[in-house]
Structure 1
Amino acid sequence: MTFLSVDAVNAKYDKVHVLHDLSISVRRSETVVILGANGAGKTTLLRSLTGMVPKVTGSIVLDGTELTGRRTEDIVRMGVAHVPQGRGTFAQCTVEENLRLGAYSVKQSKAELRAGMERVYELFPRLGERRGQQAGGMSGGELQMLAIGRALMLRPRLLLLDEPSLGLAPIVIAELFEILGTLRGQETTMLIVEQNADQALRLADKVYLLETGRVVFEGDPETVRSDESIRRVYLGAE
């Protein structure tokens, strides 16, 4: 059963038309990966899902509820957590304070808040070790882990990740995708925008390729891996 349905969505910034009649779907507990070159519209797609693009037409339905036209804060309360490029953590706050801020938008008891933190620390032991440290003194990989941990504090029904591996060292990327694999195993519904195709394809249940704001391919990751023309034209593979 479809959990997220994006149907014939068009998105504009002023007069710049970015998404053109774009349609995708995500099933509950599925990991869907969006691939494409810079400027393909991947980030705009995620921003459209969270109400951050001013001009969006078409239909975006989450579990039977229309999201188009709703405010970002209302979409967050409905269980959509967005980890943007650049991480967006609060540098002057500690790890634990950042996590608490992540839970701010939803009502949680002290026990639920504590359980949420313990889950994050179990997934990211390094964050547990640094819970009293200010985020501004952390590495890029640690900040990305903190950003994902903060999103998980919302207890999201849908987790959106925009280029989670951007700017990270290969060893950190491998560790990060291993953790995302754990989340997949826990049946977390995820929509991931990523340029690191090899890592993303190992994680994906379904793949979409975007080109200039349009879907040019929808299918399984094995097809993307095995089709040399797709890899050469859309993923830059030799």
Structure 2
Amino acid sequence: MKRYLSAVLAATLVAGLTACGGGVSQASSSSGSASSSSSGSASPSASPTKTSRPVPDVAGKTFAEAYKVLSAAGFYGSAYGKDGKKWTHTTPDASIVVVSTNPAAGTVSATEDIEIHVGITEAEHAAVAKAAADAKKAAADAAAKAAAAPKVPTEYSSALSKAGSYSRNMHMSKAGIYDQLTSQYGEKFSPEAAQYAVDNLKTDYNANALAKAKSYQSSMSMSPAAIYDQLVSQYGEKFTPEEANYAVQNLN
């Protein structure tokens, strides 16, 4: 009888403990489920949206002016050439004006990036800029060279001016001009000044010889052979044989 009561008591205790454990498990499960349900029901916050605004009209402005106007309106502008390509290495200077934009002026847009179209490609702009830089450098080099060059003596420049006058008005040869410049009965320049003058005179001695030949032909009715002799004579005009030959071959 005692063994029977002990077995019944043990079974009762086991059943009670099992019931308690199940309740805890169910409570935990219920709590977890509630937590999971609560977590799953939370929605993410919405991202902010960009504000739409009209694109300003910047046609006719320089790129710098257009960029400033667009920036003030909340846009970011990039230069595009007439070939439709974006400028990536340089920026349009003040000589280049804006043709249009994309999106077009007046378009209500939420985008930040605006294409600023100009009427020249970046390659063309680079070529123009290089040519200008080369010209500026050449001018600077020429000025530096001129400053470094020795100053021409006044006598030399005077002799050169006089030589030009003899060439233009009297159509003289190089040798004839030199003799006239150094002659004691002429200009009386020093041999050095006279040589400088004929070496630096920019003139066409073929044209001078032809002018002399026509003068002999019209005023003295000389033959081509006689004119040739007069042109090359050391007592005459002192043109070179090549210059005299050019003259008689081109007489009318």
Identify whether the pair has TM-score above 0.5, normalized to the shorter chain.
no
Shorter-chain TM-score: what band? under 0.3
Which of the pair has more CA radius of gyration?
2
Relative to total residues, which structure has the larger strand share, 1 or 2? 1
The normalised TM-score by structure 1 is 0.21
Relative to total residues, which structure has the larger helix share, 1 or 2? 2
Asked which structure has the greater RCO (Cα within 8 Å, sep 6+), the reply is 1
